[in-house]
Chain A
């Protein structure tokens, strides 16, 4: 799972603030010798916005020696520098260390390489003062994050408001802490393979759900925004039109479906997805899960072979299970009965999922909220995933509202 702030997987690294790194002449992925009274080792560096000058941080829990293939030889043991605070336990800070360059390089396996929003209508924020004055103001930040219905050249093929179910998901950006529990839950539920350090270095991680982390404002004291990003299940899905074999289509309950057995792996859908939420199986990762490790698979979900595209399905296996049970009982699906894996795991209940056509459902209220917007709505993809605008309350927090009006 990528670290929520650094997005690095598999190793720990020495975090140095940008100003400090510039003084020392080091960049991310440089290997330095970290030396203190208690010991020394070589460790790669990551330039981390927000760290004060003169301080460096290092995550604990790495460098294990008896943890099996996943834990052994991963990172360095930072406990070396943790001293004792008399009787009150470990001192997690205060060790004096020196840093010297070694000239070596070590590529950290990061999942996110670029950190700025660059004025694109990806997420929306508003300060609390403005929100207090006018709750609807969050819809009027530039660039426009909520579009009225765009006139189309053709007739709609299907009216989703007539379906018994119309599944939508919403994420409250105020509640989201970026912890990443949803990422792990999704991976466990959907048999997403663990690809290993080298594949992540090549940007081939398979997470169906990711937490995008953006920095805004001053590099040395930035504001951070998290945005969980998964398949947006767009009504006008750009991926569906370009698949030559109809491996991806739209269901009448609003899901963008992925038909694994039909996919021949042209990767056109991945190219055309503006949110880049589709994942391609470059290798047969399932072959690495041998013998009894097979028990880790969720039997309700297919295990995909190579050459096939996959993505978030709104936990369609759970939807089908709920539908089946409701049919047996001859009732409708009650709101809250059916939870996606990410929704179930979120510690702050930032994710809500449900049937928007059911007026009593929670999602129905969230969609109507003044703060509800969709990512990059200007593209007219009409995603089913909504986000609630983040309202920033702290003083001095930079607010990203987008500075340019961008159309595509």
Chain B
């Protein structure tokens, strides 16, 4: 007895480019068009592309800053507590709150907290690890660039909420801004 496969969900339409300049120009055009949900794919970070795509600045530095200062405060409080409150000793005639001696660890812990927070913050902002959306073409991580216009209905399950989206029109639009090998892309996870 067959199990009925559900119809694959359209994830979007994609068009390829061979050089970063064309990609950047095309991205600017897509940004200025009515298609609001789109993304560019590149083998490396292309300068100026975030402006062409209209992306805001990343908030990762705020995460870093908050956690780095947390690290500073933690290191100071913890060393002070351990050395002066919980387990005080007369050590070499130094005062219990030996602030100059605490400085190296305060610095190191600030960097440690800031660094770890930056890493996990970046992963969180990037929604990584990503297991749901498979890479649609191996040439992206090799030598080609792409723009994908997202299907806004891909994430919305309820049919009532769907907006109108024509994959064919999107494909035409991509061709008009200079993309090659324009095609549809379907939702696929990494391990399905």
Contacts and interface: CB of A to CB of B under 8 A. Distances in A.
A241 interface: yes
For A235, A240, A252, the residue with the greatest tally of chain B CB atoms inside 10 Å of its CB is A240
Contacts, number: 40
A264 interface: no
Contacts of B87: 246
B8 to A, nearest CB: 61
A246 B91 contact: yes
Interface in B112-149: none
Nearest to B88: A157
A235 B89 contact: no
Interface residues of A, number: 18
A238 B92 CA distance: 6
B90 A236 contact: no
A155 B95 contact: yes
Contact of A250 (B89, B95, B98, B101): B89
B96 interface: yes
A35 B96 CA distance: 67
Contacts of A237: 92-93
Where chain A touches its partner, the secondary structure class is loop
Contacts of A155: 95
A154 B92 CA distance: 12
Interface residues of B, number: 11
Residue among A236, A238, A239, A241 facing the most chain B CB atoms (10 A cut-off) = A241
B94 A241 contact: yes
A235 B92 CA distance: 6
Contact of A246 (B89, B93, B94): B89
A236 B95 CA distance: 11
B91 A250 contact: yes
Interface string A143-156: 00000000000111
Contacts of B92: 236-241, 250
Nearest to A155: B95
Interface centre among A154, A239, A251, A252 (most CB of B within 10 A): A154
A263 to B, nearest CB: 15
A235 B91 contact: no
Interface of B: 87, 89-96, 98, 101
Interface of A: 154-158, 235-241, 246, 249-252, 382
**Nearest 3 A-B pairs (CB), nearest first?**
A241-B92, A236-B93, A250-B90
